[in-house]
Amino acid sequence: MNDLTTNFLVTLTFLATVGVFQMALAAFDLPSGANDLLNVQPVNMEFNCEGRKYGYYGDINNDCQLFHICLPIEDADGNVIDTNHWTFLCSNGTIFDQQTLSCNYISDSFPCEESESLYGTVMFGLQDDELFKKL
Ligand SMILES: *[C@@H]1O[C@H](CO)[C@@H](O)[C@H](O)[C@H]1NC(C)=O
Instruction: Write down the pTM of the prediction.
Output: 0.76
Question: Do residues 125 and 7 lie in contact, with contact meaning Cβ atoms separated by under 8 Å?
Answer: yes
More confident residue, 67 or 124: 67
Question: Do residues 28 and 43 lie in contact, with contact meaning Cβ atoms separated by under 8 Å?
Answer: yes
> Looking at the predicted structure, is the pLDDT value of residue 17 above 90?
no
Interval between CA 92 and ligand 1 midpoint (Å): 6
Interval between CA 2 and ligand 1 midpoint (Å): 41
Interval between CA 106 and ligand 1 midpoint (Å): 14
> Looking at the predicted structure, is the pLDDT value of residue 18 above 90?
no
In this structure, the residue with its CA closest to atom 10 of ligand 1 is 92
Q: What are phi and psi of 23, to 5 degrees?
A: -80, 145
Cα–Cα distance list, 49 to 27, 42, 109, 125 (Å): 9, 20, 23, 17
